[in-house]
Amino acid sequence: MADQDRPQIYLITPPELDLDAYPDQLAAVLDATEIACLRIALATKDEDRILRAADAIRLTAHQRDVAVVIERHVLLVERLGLDGVHLTDGARSLRKVRKDLPEAIIGAHCGITRHEGMSAGEAGADYVCFGPIGATPLGDGSHADWDLFQWWSEMIEVPVVAEGALTVELVEKFGPVTDFFAVGEEIWSKDDPAAALKALLAPLG
């Protein structure tokens, strides 16, 4: 694995959140475990809700020197003072976004295909996400396999993120071949997300 032995943690917000409670929950997680990056991934299309949530999340994260990216909403990055954007369409819009946001962190979710990941890397992605790595009823049931991550970690410089339906067993298995684990729904549904994250990451030591 490039430069490090222990994967870093990339946190994803829940798709729906209670703005009265979530900043405190988030703070507890950020204070309990070192987090490299936080992705705002809200389901709502309501601009006001997104703006208010992103403001609160950015404040909480930036107080702890955690970078914040937002899923899809390229135009909100500069407006909200965020660090970058996470694209969900692989490499398709990457070149244009890189031109519009030359200094920003730009990540790309590339599903389960090596080719899409390589295209994203060539187009200027700062990281590439593959997943889901675990079994999930969402989508068509396909998942990104260990061999893809092993090949990527040996051949490609661009950091790789393992995402989707993580379990303790998968963290142990993929730990040696990924730069980041993206964790979201795995912990936010629990009563104590900070403790749930620590338990999930136990194999990393």
Place of tokens 């369409």: 89
pLDDT value, residue 1: 29
Token readout for 98 is: 């890189």
Paired residues of 183 in beta bridges: 11
Half-sphere exposure of 193 toward its Cβ, with a 13 Å CA cutoff?
A: 22
12 within some domain:
yes
- CATH number (domain holding residue 23): 3.20.20.70
8 Å CB contact between 21 and 46: no
Range of the domain at 171: 8-204
29 within some domain:
yes
Count of Cβ atoms closer than 10 Å to residue 63 Cβ = 10
98 within some domain:
yes
3 within some domain:
no
pLDDT value, residue 2: 39
Count of Cβ atoms closer than 10 Å to residue 65 Cβ = 8
8 Å CB contact between 41 and 11: no
185 within some domain:
yes
Measured CA to CA, the distance from residue 115 to residue 118 in angstroms comes to 5
CA-based nearest residue to 144, from 172, 191, 184, 178: 178
Q: pTM for this one?
A: 0.95
1 within some domain:
no
120 within some domain:
yes
164 within some domain:
yes
Token readout for 40 is: 């705002």
How many angstroms from the chain centroid is the CA of residue 201?
A: 15
pLDDT value, residue 20: 94
Mean pLDDT, all residues of the chain: 95
Measured CA to CA, the distance from residue 85 to residue 82 in angstroms comes to 8
pLDDT value, residue 5: 76
pLDDT value, residue 136: 80
Token readout for 131 is: 């997943």
Residue numbers in the chain where pLDDT is lower than 50: 1-3
pLDDT value, residue 4: 54
| Count of domains observed in the chain | 1
**Which residue stretches of 81-123 are H helix?**
94-100, 114-122
